[in-house]
Amino acid sequence: MPHSPVVIGVDSSTQSTKALFADAVTGRTLAVGRSPHRVDGTDGARESDPEQWWGALREAVAAGLKESGAPASAVRGIAVAGQQHGLVVLGRDRRPLRPALLWNDTRSAAQAAALTAELGGPEVWTARTGSVPVAAMTAAKWRWLRENDPSAAERCAAVRLPHDFLTERLTGAAVTDPGDASGTGWYSTATGAYDPEILQLIGLDAELLPAVAPTGGARAGTLSSQAATALGLPATVAVAAGTGDNMSAAVGLGLGGAGLADHPVLSLGTSGTVFAATRTRPENPVLNGFASADGHYLPLACTLNCTLAVDRIAGLLGLGRDDAEPGGEAVLLPYLDGERTPDLPSASGLLTGLRHATTPRQLLGAAYEGAVFTVLRALDEVLSACGLDPGSPTTAARPLRLIGGGAQGRTWVETVRRLSGRPLVLPTGTELVAVGAAALAASAVTGDDPVTLARRWGAGLGRELPPVERDLGAWERIGSVLDRAFPG
């Protein structure tokens, strides 16, 4: 009996690769293969060897294929969603010349500031690219590389984002998509193309860059013979252009061109991320005015310090993740890696408001509150970019979709409820980046719209939690500390 067609959605994140095998028609998850990554670096450096991503992809696909019980011949398509912003430099043989600089490598903060000034300031960058350079942006990392590792820059024959690197390994084709490209700093969301003036400013030849497909679901090609052999899959498997992880999560949630800003998204992971889909091109210097994987826009704000930072505080206190209670008078801003939103790359963690009665559990609760406050304040900017008034009762009543690893944690969920005062939706699908990539893969096979496919699959649906009374006291206390400690 023939097996139903299968697609593979690959989530290549900072810490691991996941390969989700899904029924191409129903979206039912058949299996998820996993393989970890290693991240190296101290004092702001965060690097990984791109070859391990390829090895992890092979291992995750092999594990998923075995678990799914599907024959290799049933696989029809594959797509990669990768961590954004990372800088991969390749030699003439298309092998990495050095470890990749990851999104959370903050050594390029000075280069980001210099680039902002050289082009004319934040407003000029926002008008052209949708985003102002920060340390995370690939353009700043390329400038850093030229200044600190000029040998690698001079020998570079190709520049790729993490997902581009893996797509090229799968197909041999150098291709990216508008969503992930819009996080580089050298792609213009105003023109839908690479910006030649910015490329000249940073000293990057456009010939080193991949072609930009119309959407992340566009067909980049099929598996090369080498990739097919390495993965144990037919060479006829279609490969989509793929996209960045945040864009893929939006697809997995069924957020797309209809401008569904009535369901903004908060992702709790290593970073804290808020975004919403819209047809309106955002121009807000506080935000990343990204393109989406389906050809529209995805205004987004990202904080560096979220679950990993709070786990570190829990470890220092000798507490479990849920051994927390509201912080009381204590305020803890867990900016252990500097911060991206607000743009404070040199910041460190800040604790104030201690009393004799302050307990370890309150300190941990204060760390949760500090992380959640930072990302919820960024959410207000995202809503404004979508034409919504964050302070209006109508906007406040809109459900907030909570995703990421933190969405599985009781204390994270309750802290978001308390500080936001919003109703929450906890989607049933837990691997939304991989689900979105699977929808992109299915699109490359059928030509159907990936967002429509994902909505049909229903991964964005889930348990609804009613609002609770907003803790305005904690909100105002934390905001006051943040504004005094880091004015402007």
Q: Which residues are catalytic?
A: 245
Measured CA to CA, the distance from residue 211 to residue 131 in angstroms comes to: 21
What is the DSSP secondary structure assignment for residue 39, as one 8-state letter?
-
Of the CA atoms within 13 Å of residue 26, those in its CB half-sphere come to: 5
- Angle formed by the axes of helices 432-446 and 245-252, nearest 10°: 80
Query: Phi and psi of 122, rounded to 5°?
Result: -55, -40
Query: How many helices, marked H, and strands, marked E, lie in the chain?
Result: 17, 24
Is the Cα dihedral 155, 169, 57, 247 positive or negative?
positive
Written as six digits, the tokens of 299 are 């205004």
Is the bond leading into 214 cis (omega within 30 degrees of zero)?
no
- Angle formed by the axes of helices 450-457 and 245-252, nearest 10°: 50
Calculate ∠ Cα 214-217-219, nearest 5°: 80
What is the DSSP secondary structure assignment for residue 345, as one 8-state letter?
T
Measured CA to CA, the distance from residue 238 to residue 245 in angstroms comes to: 20
* Full DSSP string of 67-116: HH---GGGEEEEEEEE-SS-BEEE-TTS-BSSPEEPTT--TTHHHHHHHH
How far is the first Cα of the chain from the last one, in angstroms, to the nearest whole number?
65
- Angle formed by the axes of helices 360-385 and 472-485, nearest 10°: 80
The one-letter amino acid at 465: L
Asked whether the beta carbons of 376 and 421 are under 8 A apart, the reply is: no
